[in-house]
Amino acid sequence: MVSLASRRRAVGFLLGRGFARVRSCRVASLSRVASRREPKERSPEVKQKILELAKQNPRYGFRRVHALLEGVNLKAVHRIWREEGLALRHKKRRKLIVPKSSGPELTKANQAWCVDFCFQRLENGRHARILGVLDCFTRECLLLKAASSFPSFLVEKELEWLFLVHGKPEGIVSDNGPEFRAMTLPQGVENRFIQPGKPWQNGYIESFFGRLRDELLSCEIFTRGSDLQRALDEFQDHYNDKRPHLGLGGLTPASFKEGLVTQSEEAILRN
């Protein structure tokens, strides 16, 4: 994708060689109005910060980069994004019409967790299974664990540790895989299976795995399972503590959860 600034420079070059403005703009795919419009002067520090963030996070769009900035207008970020040709190229996908969930409305942390697997091929040709666990309300990634296989007792073992660290959820949403069907959950934790063949009913974890693949798994080649696990740990920390979530108003899952704790403490003090 050729940036707006590059097309303006191309028009200027052609004009300098004696070409008419109409023809120059047609060659550069630029309107005559845009070719005459002088770009507004912007703070070089802001532009440099946007370019640095885009370089550090190559799979972020301009809205997510804007969420990392303070005191910068979204339209200004978008203009710089277009001028520098930073727009991401996305594969066209058929839009799925997802029905509204019939489950209870999410209003608090630990109301529902979602779990699922995704797969990653290693350099030696072997496949690793990645178990992911997400809090559906705070979007916090509670677990990213890679292993060559994940029988039911290992899934239970990982969940038991999460229960100790985060407390028990009211329910766990999963598909009908044998690892989840064979699980024995503690009293008070409901096993909520989605309908067969309808992965969108577990949309939070599906969306999370999409981001994981887009921002990590498709960008790296992993020699060993230990390399993959190290990268997953770093991604989990970044996702929870640094990556702004547009569904949380631009907050990170950690900041959003911290805000819930503060609100809860204030409510207790008022009462």
What are the structural domain ranges in the chain?
4-83, 113-262
The pLDDT of residue 39 = 57
40 pLDDT band, cuts 50/70/90, is low
What class, spelled out in words, does domain 113-262 have in CATH?
alpha beta
- Of residues 52 and 155, more confidence is placed in 155
The pLDDT of residue 100 = 47
**Average pLDDT value for residue range 42-69:** 76
The pLDDT of residue 78 = 78
Whether the per-residue pLDDT at 99 is higher than 50: the answer is no
Whether the per-residue pLDDT at 135 is higher than 90: the answer is yes
Smallest CA-to-CA distance from 64 within 76, 53, 49 is with: 53
Going by C-beta distance under 8 Å and a sequence separation of 6 or more, which residues neighbour residue 181?
A: 193
The pLDDT of residue 142 = 97
Q: Which of 71-80, 158-167, 169-178 has the lowest mean pLDDT?
A: 71-80
Whole-number average pLDDT of the chain: 83
What whole-number distance in Å separates Cα of residue 116 and Cα of residue 93? 22
- Of residues 38 and 162, more confidence is placed in 162
What whole-number distance in Å separates Cα of residue 157 and Cα of residue 175? 19
Whether the per-residue pLDDT at 91 is higher than 80: the answer is no
Q: At 233, is the secondary structure helix, strand, or coil? A: helix
Whether the per-residue pLDDT at 226 is higher than 80: the answer is yes
Whether the per-residue pLDDT at 131 is higher than 90: the answer is yes
The pLDDT of residue 92 = 53
**Average pLDDT value for residue range 193-220:** 90
The pLDDT of residue 234 = 95
- Percent of the chain at pLDDT exceeding 70: 85
CA distances to 122, 171, 219, 243 from 125, in Å: 5, 36, 17, 31
Whether the per-residue pLDDT at 144 is higher than 80: the answer is yes
Is residue 111 within 8 A of residue 136, CB to CB? The reply is yes
